[in-house]
Amino acid sequence: MKILIADDSRVMRQIVTRTLRQAGFDNHDLVEAADGAEAAAKAASESPDLIISDWNMPEMTGIEVLRKLRAEGNNVKFGFVTSECTDEMKNAAESAGSAFFIVKPFTADQFQEAFSPILG
């Protein structure tokens, strides 16, 4: 499967990549986006099977990316890995069609639990 990792932090993109590997998901194609606009563009051009997105990013926030994709009829599996977690954000994510909401700092166990149903 192809996974798009969207986060403006290079460090966090690297940690998400490493944690995916530690959680046992190391045989997937990984694509990266450094802001929301790039994430939206690559969601179209790369056709990923899963998008793991930060919430607070330049250009477009993660929730704006998700809403744009859904408005365009793109139903790719999409979820958030973010340091911010409020009830209003979780509700907004769920309403927009988010499949998971993981809060930083996270562990490989949390990744395994969240992604096993999606990545197998």
Residues that bind another protein (CB under 8 A): 8-12, 14-15, 18, 56, 58, 82-88, 103-107
Nearer to another protein, 76 or 100 (CB): 100
Minimum distance between the CB of residue 47 and another protein, rounded to whole angstroms? 29
CB of 74: closest distance to another protein in angstroms?
Answer: 27
Sequence-separated (6 or more) residues with CB below 8 Å from residue 62? 6, 36, 39, 53, 54, 55, 56, 80, 82
Nearer to another protein (CB atom), residue 45 or residue 86: 86
For the CB of residue 10, give the shortest distance to another protein in the complex, in Å.
6
Q: How far apart are CA 88 and CA 3, in angstroms?
A: 26
> To the nearest whole angstrom, how small is the minimum distance from the Cβ of residue 105 to another protein?
4
Between 2 and 30, name the residue whose CB sits nearer to another protein. 30
